[in-house]
Structure 1
Amino acid sequence: MSSLIQLLELPAGEAFEQWLSTPGEWVEEPNARRGGISGVQRVRTGDGRLLYRKQQVDHCYRDWRHPLGEPTVLRERRALQAFAALGIRVPRLLYCGTRRQAGQLQALLVTEALNGFDSLEAIYAHGMQHGWDAALRARIFQQLGQLLARLHAARWQHGCLYPKHIFLRVSPHGRVELALLDLEKSRRRLTSRRAARHDLRQLRRHAWWGEAEWRSLASGYRQACGHAIEE
Protein backbone atom coordinates (compact mmCIF):
# COMPACT_ATOMS: atom_id res chain seq x y z
CA MET A 1 0.00 0.00 0.00
CA SER A 2 1.39 3.40 -1.01
CA SER A 3 2.21 6.17 1.44
CA LEU A 4 0.56 9.57 1.10
CA ILE A 5 3.78 11.10 -0.26
CA GLN A 6 3.99 8.41 -2.94
CA LEU A 7 0.38 9.00 -3.97
CA LEU A 8 0.88 12.77 -4.14
CA GLU A 9 3.96 12.35 -6.35
CA LEU A 10 2.28 10.10 -8.93
CA PRO A 11 2.53 11.17 -12.60
CA ALA A 12 -0.72 12.59 -13.93
CA GLY A 13 -1.27 9.59 -16.21
CA GLU A 14 -1.15 7.13 -13.30
CA ALA A 15 -2.74 9.13 -10.52
CA PHE A 16 -6.42 8.37 -11.13
CA GLU A 17 -5.99 4.60 -11.24
CA GLN A 18 -3.68 4.52 -8.23
CA TRP A 19 -5.97 6.67 -6.09
CA LEU A 20 -8.95 4.57 -7.13
CA SER A 21 -7.23 1.24 -6.41
CA THR A 22 -6.14 2.21 -2.87
CA PRO A 23 -8.24 -0.04 -0.57
CA GLY A 24 -11.05 1.60 1.37
CA GLU A 25 -14.36 0.99 3.12
CA TRP A 26 -17.70 2.62 2.39
CA VAL A 27 -18.90 5.29 4.80
CA GLU A 28 -21.53 6.50 2.34
CA GLU A 29 -22.74 3.68 0.14
CA PRO A 30 -23.00 4.48 -3.58
CA ASN A 31 -26.40 5.90 -4.39
CA ALA A 32 -28.06 7.07 -7.56
CA ARG A 33 -28.35 10.84 -7.90
CA ARG A 34 -28.18 13.41 -10.69
CA GLY A 35 -28.38 10.71 -13.32
CA GLY A 36 -25.29 8.94 -11.96
CA ILE A 37 -23.77 7.30 -8.89
CA SER A 38 -21.85 8.79 -5.96
CA GLY A 39 -20.40 7.37 -2.75
CA VAL A 40 -17.63 7.97 -0.22
CA GLN A 41 -14.97 5.60 1.10
CA ARG A 42 -12.67 5.91 4.09
CA VAL A 43 -9.09 5.15 3.00
CA ARG A 44 -5.95 4.60 5.05
CA THR A 45 -2.59 4.97 3.32
CA GLY A 46 0.47 2.82 3.92
CA ASP A 47 1.83 5.38 6.38
CA GLY A 48 -1.41 5.44 8.37
CA ARG A 49 -2.97 8.68 7.06
CA LEU A 50 -6.78 8.72 7.11
CA LEU A 51 -8.40 10.06 3.93
CA TYR A 52 -11.84 10.23 2.37
CA ARG A 53 -12.38 9.40 -1.30
CA LYS A 54 -15.53 10.50 -3.11
CA GLN A 55 -16.15 8.24 -6.10
CA GLN A 56 -18.61 9.09 -8.85
CA VAL A 57 -19.81 7.82 -12.20
CA ASP A 58 -21.78 10.17 -14.49
CA HIS A 59 -22.67 12.28 -11.43
CA CYS A 60 -23.04 15.77 -12.92
CA TYR A 61 -24.80 19.06 -12.38
CA ARG A 62 -25.94 21.44 -15.10
CA ASP A 63 -26.12 25.20 -15.21
CA TRP A 64 -25.84 27.92 -17.84
CA ARG A 65 -22.05 27.53 -17.93
CA HIS A 66 -22.21 23.74 -18.14
CA PRO A 67 -25.37 22.90 -20.12
CA LEU A 68 -24.03 19.43 -20.95
CA GLY A 69 -23.07 18.77 -17.33
CA GLU A 70 -19.93 18.85 -15.23
CA PRO A 71 -18.91 16.34 -12.52
CA THR A 72 -19.90 17.70 -9.13
CA VAL A 73 -16.44 16.97 -7.73
CA LEU A 74 -15.05 19.76 -9.94
CA ARG A 75 -17.47 22.24 -8.39
CA GLU A 76 -16.53 20.94 -4.95
CA ARG A 77 -12.83 21.36 -5.73
CA ARG A 78 -13.37 25.02 -6.64
CA ALA A 79 -15.31 25.58 -3.41
CA LEU A 80 -12.64 23.89 -1.27
CA GLN A 81 -9.99 26.13 -2.78
CA ALA A 82 -12.11 29.28 -2.44
CA PHE A 83 -13.12 28.61 1.18
CA ALA A 84 -9.51 27.94 2.13
CA ALA A 85 -8.45 31.22 0.48
CA LEU A 86 -11.01 33.00 2.68
CA GLY A 87 -9.39 31.53 5.78
CA ILE A 88 -12.25 29.08 6.37
CA ARG A 89 -11.04 25.67 7.43
CA VAL A 90 -12.02 22.82 5.11
CA PRO A 91 -10.53 19.37 4.57
CA ARG A 92 -7.19 19.49 2.78
CA LEU A 93 -7.64 18.68 -0.90
CA LEU A 94 -5.24 15.96 -2.01
CA TYR A 95 -6.50 14.88 -5.42
CA CYS A 96 -9.31 15.60 -7.85
CA GLY A 97 -9.57 14.06 -11.28
CA THR A 98 -11.89 12.74 -13.96
CA ARG A 99 -11.60 10.28 -16.79
CA ARG A 100 -13.89 8.80 -19.42
CA GLN A 101 -13.84 5.03 -19.59
CA ALA A 102 -16.17 2.64 -21.40
CA GLY A 103 -18.50 5.54 -22.15
CA GLN A 104 -18.77 6.58 -18.49
CA LEU A 105 -17.46 9.75 -16.87
CA GLN A 106 -15.64 8.72 -13.70
CA ALA A 107 -14.59 11.23 -11.05
CA LEU A 108 -12.61 11.19 -7.80
CA LEU A 109 -12.08 13.72 -5.04
CA VAL A 110 -9.73 12.83 -2.16
CA THR A 111 -9.42 14.87 1.04
CA GLU A 112 -7.57 14.45 4.30
CA ALA A 113 -9.55 13.64 7.44
CA LEU A 114 -10.08 16.40 10.01
CA ASN A 115 -8.43 14.68 12.95
CA GLY A 116 -9.86 15.51 16.35
CA PHE A 117 -12.98 17.19 14.96
CA ASP A 118 -16.59 16.13 15.54
CA SER A 119 -19.70 17.36 13.78
CA LEU A 120 -22.13 19.51 15.72
CA GLU A 121 -24.73 16.89 14.90
CA ALA A 122 -22.70 14.16 16.64
CA ILE A 123 -21.78 16.45 19.56
CA TYR A 124 -25.40 17.26 20.35
CA ALA A 125 -26.64 13.74 19.64
CA HIS A 126 -24.22 12.32 22.22
CA GLY A 127 -24.69 15.11 24.77
CA MET A 128 -21.07 16.23 24.61
CA GLN A 129 -22.16 19.88 24.71
CA HIS A 130 -23.13 19.42 28.37
CA GLY A 131 -19.42 19.58 29.17
CA TRP A 132 -19.21 23.18 27.92
CA ASP A 133 -19.52 26.09 30.31
CA ALA A 134 -21.52 29.16 29.25
CA ALA A 135 -18.45 31.12 28.14
CA LEU A 136 -17.17 28.31 25.90
CA ARG A 137 -20.62 27.72 24.42
CA ALA A 138 -20.93 31.42 23.58
CA ARG A 139 -17.44 31.51 22.05
CA ILE A 140 -18.13 28.48 19.82
CA PHE A 141 -21.26 29.98 18.33
CA GLN A 142 -19.85 33.49 18.06
CA GLN A 143 -16.98 32.07 16.01
CA LEU A 144 -19.43 30.13 13.89
CA GLY A 145 -21.31 33.35 13.21
CA GLN A 146 -18.07 35.10 12.25
CA LEU A 147 -17.12 32.24 9.93
CA LEU A 148 -20.48 32.33 8.15
CA ALA A 149 -20.35 36.12 7.83
CA ARG A 150 -16.94 35.87 6.14
CA LEU A 151 -18.29 33.22 3.77
CA HIS A 152 -21.39 35.20 2.85
CA ALA A 153 -19.53 38.50 2.50
CA ALA A 154 -17.63 36.84 -0.34
CA ARG A 155 -21.00 35.81 -1.86
CA TRP A 156 -20.35 32.14 -1.26
CA GLN A 157 -23.24 29.91 -0.27
CA HIS A 158 -22.49 26.57 1.38
CA GLY A 159 -25.70 25.15 -0.03
CA CYS A 160 -26.06 22.25 2.40
CA LEU A 161 -25.51 23.88 5.79
CA TYR A 162 -26.63 21.20 8.24
CA PRO A 163 -25.10 20.54 11.69
CA LYS A 164 -23.55 17.34 10.29
CA HIS A 165 -21.44 19.49 7.96
CA ILE A 166 -20.15 21.90 10.65
CA PHE A 167 -17.19 20.39 12.50
CA LEU A 168 -15.68 21.50 15.80
CA ARG A 169 -12.50 20.85 17.73
CA VAL A 170 -11.88 22.31 21.19
CA SER A 171 -8.37 22.01 22.62
CA PRO A 172 -7.74 21.17 26.29
CA HIS A 173 -6.95 24.87 26.75
CA GLY A 174 -10.25 25.96 25.26
CA ARG A 175 -9.11 26.93 21.77
CA VAL A 176 -12.04 26.68 19.35
CA GLU A 177 -11.58 25.52 15.75
CA LEU A 178 -14.40 25.19 13.24
CA ALA A 179 -14.49 23.63 9.78
CA LEU A 180 -17.03 23.12 7.00
CA LEU A 181 -17.48 19.91 5.00
CA ASP A 182 -19.44 18.64 2.01
CA LEU A 183 -19.14 21.57 -0.38
CA GLU A 184 -20.62 19.72 -3.35
CA LYS A 185 -23.51 22.21 -3.60
CA SER A 186 -21.52 25.33 -2.75
CA ARG A 187 -21.64 28.19 -5.24
CA ARG A 188 -21.27 31.94 -5.62
CA ARG A 189 -24.45 34.01 -5.51
CA LEU A 190 -25.12 37.40 -7.06
CA THR A 191 -25.31 39.00 -3.62
CA SER A 192 -24.14 38.16 -0.13
CA ARG A 193 -27.75 38.57 1.06
CA ARG A 194 -28.95 35.71 -1.14
CA ALA A 195 -26.13 33.47 0.05
CA ALA A 196 -26.86 34.26 3.70
CA ARG A 197 -30.62 33.86 3.40
CA HIS A 198 -30.35 30.39 1.87
CA ASP A 199 -27.76 29.05 4.32
CA LEU A 200 -29.23 30.52 7.51
CA ARG A 201 -32.78 29.45 6.74
CA GLN A 202 -31.50 25.98 6.01
CA LEU A 203 -29.50 25.87 9.23
CA ARG A 204 -32.51 27.07 11.24
CA ARG A 205 -34.59 24.19 9.89
CA HIS A 206 -32.05 21.51 10.73
CA ALA A 207 -30.31 22.69 13.91
CA TRP A 208 -31.83 21.81 17.28
CA TRP A 209 -29.67 23.87 19.64
CA GLY A 210 -31.27 26.53 21.83
CA GLU A 211 -31.88 30.23 21.55
CA ALA A 212 -28.75 31.07 23.58
CA GLU A 213 -26.63 29.48 20.85
CA TRP A 214 -28.52 31.36 18.14
CA ARG A 215 -28.02 34.66 19.96
CA SER A 216 -24.27 34.02 20.15
CA LEU A 217 -24.17 33.06 16.47
CA ALA A 218 -26.07 36.23 15.54
CA SER A 219 -23.72 38.32 17.71
CA GLY A 220 -20.65 36.91 15.99
CA TYR A 221 -22.22 37.41 12.58
CA ARG A 222 -23.02 41.04 13.34
CA GLN A 223 -19.51 41.69 14.71
CA ALA A 224 -17.94 40.30 11.54
CA CYS A 225 -20.06 42.00 8.90
CA GLY A 226 -21.58 45.00 10.68
CA HIS A 227 -25.24 44.09 10.23
CA ALA A 228 -27.72 41.67 11.74
CA ILE A 229 -28.65 38.34 10.22
CA GLU A 230 -31.46 38.66 7.68
CA GLU A 231 -33.44 35.46 7.37
Structure 2
Amino acid sequence: MPSDWASIANPTEDERFLRFWVMRGDWVEAPNLRRGGESGVQRVHLADGTQLYLKRQVGHLYRSLRHPFGRPTVLRERDALLAIERLGVRVPRLVYGGVRYQADSGWQGLLVTEALDGFIEFERWYAATKGEGERHLVLQQLAATLCRLHQGRWQHGCLYAKHVFVRPMGEGGLPEVALLDLEKARRRLSSKRAALRDLWQFKRHSSLDEADWQILIYGYEAAFGSAIKGLRT
Protein backbone atom coordinates (compact mmCIF):
# COMPACT_ATOMS: atom_id res chain seq x y z
CA MET A 1 0.00 0.00 0.00
CA PRO A 2 1.32 3.50 -0.77
CA SER A 3 3.60 4.76 2.02
CA ASP A 4 1.71 8.07 2.32
CA TRP A 5 -1.67 6.42 2.68
CA ALA A 6 -1.71 7.13 6.42
CA SER A 7 -1.93 10.86 5.62
CA ILE A 8 -5.64 10.35 4.92
CA ALA A 9 -7.64 9.35 7.97
CA ASN A 10 -10.62 7.07 7.25
CA PRO A 11 -10.66 7.67 3.49
CA THR A 12 -13.93 7.23 1.62
CA GLU A 13 -14.17 4.73 -1.22
CA ASP A 14 -14.04 7.60 -3.76
CA GLU A 15 -10.87 8.94 -2.10
CA ARG A 16 -9.26 5.50 -2.16
CA PHE A 17 -10.13 5.05 -5.82
CA LEU A 18 -8.84 8.50 -6.78
CA ARG A 19 -5.57 8.04 -4.88
CA PHE A 20 -4.68 5.15 -7.19
CA TRP A 21 -6.37 6.49 -10.33
CA VAL A 22 -4.09 9.55 -10.48
CA MET A 23 -0.92 7.43 -10.25
CA ARG A 24 1.04 7.19 -13.48
CA GLY A 25 3.79 4.88 -14.63
CA ASP A 26 5.19 3.04 -17.64
CA TRP A 27 2.73 1.10 -19.75
CA VAL A 28 3.54 -2.63 -19.71
CA GLU A 29 0.34 -3.38 -21.58
CA ALA A 30 -0.75 -0.44 -23.70
CA PRO A 31 -4.45 0.47 -23.58
CA ASN A 32 -6.47 -1.60 -26.02
CA LEU A 33 -10.13 -1.94 -26.84
CA ARG A 34 -11.79 -5.11 -25.54
CA ARG A 35 -15.25 -6.03 -24.29
CA GLY A 36 -16.59 -2.73 -25.55
CA GLY A 37 -14.15 -0.75 -23.39
CA GLU A 38 -10.51 0.14 -22.82
CA SER A 39 -7.98 -1.75 -20.70
CA GLY A 40 -4.27 -1.36 -20.00
CA VAL A 41 -1.63 -2.02 -17.33
CA GLN A 42 0.96 0.38 -15.90
CA ARG A 43 3.96 -0.25 -13.67
CA VAL A 44 4.31 2.29 -10.86
CA HIS A 45 7.33 2.75 -8.57
CA LEU A 46 6.59 4.22 -5.15
CA ALA A 47 9.00 6.29 -3.09
CA ASP A 48 9.52 3.45 -0.59
CA GLY A 49 10.68 1.11 -3.38
CA THR A 50 7.41 -0.80 -3.72
CA GLN A 51 6.50 -1.68 -7.29
CA LEU A 52 2.82 -1.86 -8.19
CA TYR A 53 0.91 -2.89 -11.29
CA LEU A 54 -2.25 -0.90 -12.06
CA LYS A 55 -4.81 -2.42 -14.40
CA ARG A 56 -6.81 0.59 -15.56
CA GLN A 57 -10.13 0.07 -17.36
CA VAL A 58 -12.89 2.27 -18.76
CA GLY A 59 -16.20 0.79 -19.90
CA HIS A 60 -14.70 -2.69 -19.69
CA LEU A 61 -17.54 -5.04 -18.75
CA TYR A 62 -18.38 -8.73 -18.79
CA ARG A 63 -21.85 -10.22 -19.02
CA SER A 64 -23.26 -13.38 -17.49
CA LEU A 65 -26.57 -14.87 -16.42
CA ARG A 66 -26.08 -13.19 -13.08
CA HIS A 67 -25.05 -9.87 -14.66
CA PRO A 68 -26.89 -9.66 -18.00
CA PHE A 69 -26.41 -5.90 -18.26
CA GLY A 70 -22.70 -6.05 -17.54
CA ARG A 71 -20.37 -5.76 -14.55
CA PRO A 72 -16.88 -4.18 -14.46
CA THR A 73 -14.32 -6.85 -15.29
CA VAL A 74 -11.90 -5.76 -12.56
CA LEU A 75 -14.44 -6.85 -9.93
CA ARG A 76 -14.48 -10.39 -11.31
CA GLU A 77 -10.68 -10.50 -11.32
CA ARG A 78 -10.52 -9.04 -7.80
CA ASP A 79 -12.89 -11.70 -6.51
CA ALA A 80 -10.92 -14.44 -8.30
CA LEU A 81 -7.60 -13.25 -6.86
CA LEU A 82 -8.92 -13.40 -3.32
CA ALA A 83 -10.66 -16.76 -3.74
CA ILE A 84 -7.72 -18.44 -5.47
CA GLU A 85 -5.24 -17.12 -2.92
CA ARG A 86 -7.35 -18.79 -0.21
CA LEU A 87 -6.77 -22.11 -2.01
CA GLY A 88 -3.04 -21.76 -1.36
CA VAL A 89 -2.20 -20.74 -4.94
CA ARG A 90 0.40 -17.98 -5.27
CA VAL A 91 -1.01 -14.91 -7.04
CA PRO A 92 0.00 -11.23 -6.96
CA ARG A 93 -0.98 -9.63 -3.65
CA LEU A 94 -4.05 -7.46 -4.04
CA VAL A 95 -3.56 -3.87 -2.88
CA TYR A 96 -6.81 -2.39 -4.18
CA GLY A 97 -9.68 -3.29 -6.46
CA GLY A 98 -12.62 -1.00 -7.06
CA VAL A 99 -14.80 0.89 -9.51
CA ARG A 100 -16.62 4.18 -9.87
CA TYR A 101 -19.22 5.43 -12.34
CA GLN A 102 -18.71 8.66 -14.29
CA ALA A 103 -21.56 10.20 -16.28
CA ASP A 104 -19.29 11.07 -19.22
CA SER A 105 -17.32 7.81 -19.51
CA GLY A 106 -19.29 5.14 -17.67
CA TRP A 107 -17.59 2.60 -15.41
CA GLN A 108 -13.94 3.11 -14.48
CA GLY A 109 -12.14 0.20 -12.86
CA LEU A 110 -8.83 -0.29 -11.06
CA LEU A 111 -7.01 -3.43 -10.00
CA VAL A 112 -3.77 -2.73 -8.11
CA THR A 113 -1.37 -5.55 -7.23
CA GLU A 114 2.16 -5.81 -5.91
CA ALA A 115 4.96 -7.03 -8.14
CA LEU A 116 6.09 -10.65 -7.74
CA ASP A 117 9.66 -10.06 -6.58
CA GLY A 118 12.12 -12.67 -7.75
CA PHE A 119 9.73 -14.30 -10.24
CA ILE A 120 10.35 -14.56 -13.98
CA GLU A 121 8.12 -15.56 -16.89
CA PHE A 122 7.81 -19.30 -17.41
CA GLU A 123 9.03 -19.21 -21.02
CA ARG A 124 12.10 -17.18 -20.11
CA TRP A 125 12.91 -19.62 -17.33
CA TYR A 126 12.26 -22.66 -19.53
CA ALA A 127 14.49 -21.41 -22.33
CA ALA A 128 17.38 -20.69 -19.95
CA THR A 129 17.22 -23.81 -17.78
CA LYS A 130 19.75 -26.51 -18.64
CA GLY A 131 19.55 -28.72 -15.57
CA GLU A 132 17.05 -31.55 -15.82
CA GLY A 133 16.64 -31.73 -12.06
CA GLU A 134 15.63 -28.09 -11.70
CA ARG A 135 13.27 -28.36 -14.66
CA HIS A 136 11.52 -31.37 -13.18
CA LEU A 137 11.15 -29.68 -9.78
CA VAL A 138 9.49 -26.62 -11.32
CA LEU A 139 7.17 -28.74 -13.45
CA GLN A 140 6.15 -30.71 -10.38
CA GLN A 141 5.46 -27.46 -8.53
CA LEU A 142 3.43 -26.17 -11.47
CA ALA A 143 1.45 -29.41 -11.46
CA ALA A 144 0.73 -29.08 -7.73
CA THR A 145 -0.26 -25.41 -8.12
CA LEU A 146 -2.70 -26.14 -10.93
CA CYS A 147 -4.10 -29.10 -9.03
CA ARG A 148 -4.93 -26.87 -6.04
CA LEU A 149 -6.61 -24.42 -8.40
CA HIS A 150 -8.72 -27.06 -10.10
CA GLN A 151 -9.63 -29.02 -7.01
CA GLY A 152 -11.19 -25.79 -5.81
CA ARG A 153 -13.19 -25.93 -9.10
CA TRP A 154 -11.53 -22.78 -10.40
CA GLN A 155 -10.47 -22.53 -14.04
CA HIS A 156 -7.88 -19.94 -15.03
CA GLY A 157 -9.51 -19.55 -18.42
CA CYS A 158 -6.48 -18.07 -20.19
CA LEU A 159 -3.59 -20.27 -19.10
CA TYR A 160 -0.88 -19.13 -21.51
CA ALA A 161 2.77 -19.54 -20.53
CA LYS A 162 3.04 -15.74 -20.19
CA HIS A 163 0.56 -15.95 -17.30
CA VAL A 164 2.74 -18.40 -15.34
CA PHE A 165 5.71 -17.04 -13.37
CA VAL A 166 8.48 -19.00 -11.67
CA ARG A 167 10.84 -18.33 -8.78
CA PRO A 168 13.39 -21.15 -9.21
CA MET A 169 14.67 -20.92 -5.63
CA GLY A 170 11.83 -20.00 -3.31
CA GLU A 171 11.44 -20.49 0.43
CA GLY A 172 13.25 -23.57 1.72
CA GLY A 173 15.20 -23.83 -1.52
CA LEU A 174 12.19 -25.14 -3.43
CA PRO A 175 10.79 -23.48 -6.56
CA GLU A 176 7.58 -21.45 -6.48
CA VAL A 177 4.97 -20.91 -9.17
CA ALA A 178 2.54 -17.99 -9.42
CA LEU A 179 -0.45 -17.40 -11.70
CA LEU A 180 -1.29 -14.01 -13.21
CA ASP A 181 -4.07 -12.39 -15.22
CA LEU A 182 -7.17 -13.99 -13.72
CA GLU A 183 -9.58 -11.77 -15.65
CA LYS A 184 -11.29 -14.81 -17.21
CA ALA A 185 -11.11 -17.10 -14.18
CA ARG A 186 -14.36 -18.72 -13.13
CA ARG A 187 -15.78 -21.57 -11.09
CA ARG A 188 -16.70 -24.77 -12.93
CA LEU A 189 -19.10 -27.56 -12.01
CA SER A 190 -16.26 -30.09 -11.81
CA SER A 191 -12.54 -29.95 -11.15
CA LYS A 192 -11.84 -32.29 -14.07
CA ARG A 193 -13.57 -29.98 -16.53
CA ALA A 194 -11.51 -27.05 -15.27
CA ALA A 195 -8.33 -29.13 -15.54
CA LEU A 196 -8.85 -30.26 -19.13
CA ARG A 197 -9.44 -26.77 -20.48
CA ASP A 198 -6.54 -25.16 -18.64
CA LEU A 199 -3.94 -27.85 -19.22
CA TRP A 200 -4.58 -28.25 -22.93
CA GLN A 201 -4.54 -24.48 -23.29
CA PHE A 202 -1.18 -24.33 -21.52
CA LYS A 203 0.25 -27.00 -23.83
CA ARG A 204 -0.87 -25.08 -26.94
CA HIS A 205 0.53 -21.78 -25.69
CA SER A 206 3.87 -22.85 -24.26
CA SER A 207 7.08 -24.28 -25.68
CA LEU A 208 7.02 -27.45 -23.53
CA ASP A 209 8.42 -30.41 -25.42
CA GLU A 210 6.59 -33.72 -25.29
CA ALA A 211 8.83 -35.24 -22.63
CA ASP A 212 8.29 -32.30 -20.27
CA TRP A 213 4.57 -32.28 -21.00
CA GLN A 214 4.40 -35.90 -19.84
CA ILE A 215 6.31 -34.98 -16.67
CA LEU A 216 3.80 -32.19 -16.00
CA ILE A 217 0.81 -34.49 -16.57
CA TYR A 218 2.30 -37.29 -14.46
CA GLY A 219 2.89 -34.84 -11.62
CA TYR A 220 -0.59 -33.38 -12.01
CA GLU A 221 -2.36 -36.73 -11.89
CA ALA A 222 -0.26 -37.80 -8.91
CA ALA A 223 -1.30 -34.63 -7.04
CA PHE A 224 -4.90 -34.99 -8.20
CA GLY A 225 -5.05 -38.57 -6.99
CA SER A 226 -6.32 -40.16 -10.20
CA ALA A 227 -5.92 -40.14 -13.96
CA ILE A 228 -8.01 -37.63 -15.91
CA LYS A 229 -9.66 -39.00 -19.01
CA GLY A 230 -8.74 -37.05 -22.12
CA LEU A 231 -5.59 -35.49 -20.72
CA ARG A 232 -3.10 -37.75 -22.46
CA THR A 233 -4.76 -38.02 -25.88
TM over 0.5: yes
CA distance in 2, matches of 1:56, 1:199: 26
- Identify the residue that residue 112 of structure 1 maps to in structure 2: 114
Q: Deviations over 1:167-198 (max 9, x none)?
A: 00012884201100000000001111211111
**What SS does structure 1 have at the residue aligned with 2:88?**
coil
CA distance in 1, matches of 2:183, 2:6: 23
Q: Which of the pair is proportionally richer in strand?
A: 1
What is the number of equivalent residue pairs in this alignment? Answer: 225
Which 5+ residue runs of structure 2 have no aligned equivalent? Answer: none
TM-aligned CA deviation for residue 228 of structure 1:
2.1
1:171 corresponds, among 161, 169, 172, to 169
CA distance in 1, matches of 2:78, 2:92: 11
Amino acid at match of 1:162: Y
**What SS does structure 2 have at the residue aligned with 1:217?**
helix
- Judging changes above 3 Å, is the alpha-carbon distance between structure 1 residues 78 and 184 closer, same or farther for their aligned structure 2 residues? same
Q: CA RMSD in A?
A: 1.7
Amino acid at match of 2:163: H
Amino acid at match of 1:86: L
CA distance in 2, matches of 1:200, 1:8: 43
CA distance in 1, matches of 2:94, 2:158: 19
Amino acid at match of 2:120: D
- Within-5 A mapping of 1:174-185: 174-185=173-184
Indicate yes or no: 2:98 matched with 1:97.
Answer: yes
Alpha-carbon contact 1:80-1:93 (below 8 Å) kept: yes
Indicate yes or no: 2:204 matched with 1:205.
Answer: yes
Alpha-carbon contact 2:156-2:185 (below 8 Å) kept: yes
**What SS does structure 2 have at the residue aligned with 1:203?**
helix
Alpha-carbon contact 2:203-2:213 (below 8 Å) kept: no
Alpha-carbon contact 1:53-1:111 (below 8 Å) kept: yes
Q: Identity of paired residues, percent?
A: 53
- Judging changes above 3 Å, is the alpha-carbon distance between structure 1 residues 107 and 159 closer, same or farther for their aligned structure 2 residues? same
**What SS does structure 2 have at the residue aligned with 1:89?**
coil
Which 5+ residue runs of structure 1 have no aligned equivalent? Answer: none
- Identify the residue that residue 27 of structure 2 maps to in structure 1: 26
CA distance in 2, matches of 1:74, 1:148: 23
Amino acid at match of 1:113: A
Amino acid at match of 1:119: E
- Identify the residue that residue 129 of structure 2 maps to in structure 1: 129
TM-aligned CA deviation for residue 9 of structure 1:
7.5
**What SS does structure 1 have at the residue aligned with 2:207?**
coil
**What SS does structure 2 have at the residue aligned with 1:221?**
helix
Amino acid at match of 2:5: L
- Judging changes above 3 Å, is the alpha-carbon distance between structure 1 residues 177 and 35 closer, same or farther for their aligned structure 2 residues? same
Alpha-carbon contact 1:73-1:109 (below 8 Å) kept: yes
- Judging changes above 3 Å, is the alpha-carbon distance between structure 1 residues 136 and 123 closer, same or farther for their aligned structure 2 residues? closer
Further displaced range: 96-105 or 170-179: 170-179
- Within-5 A mapping of 1:37-116: 37-103=38-104, 104-116=106-118
Amino acid at match of 1:89: R
CA distance in 2, matches of 1:189, 1:68: 22
- Identify the residue that residue 154 of structure 1 maps to in structure 2: 152
TM-aligned CA deviation for residue 8 of structure 1:
7.4
CA distance in 2, matches of 1:52, 1:46: 15
Alpha-carbon contact 1:218-1:228 (below 8 Å) kept: no
TM-aligned CA deviation for residue 37 of structure 1:
0.4
- TM-score, normalised to structure 2, is 0.91
TM-aligned CA deviation for residue 112 of structure 1:
0.1
TM-aligned CA deviation for residue 136 of structure 1:
1.5
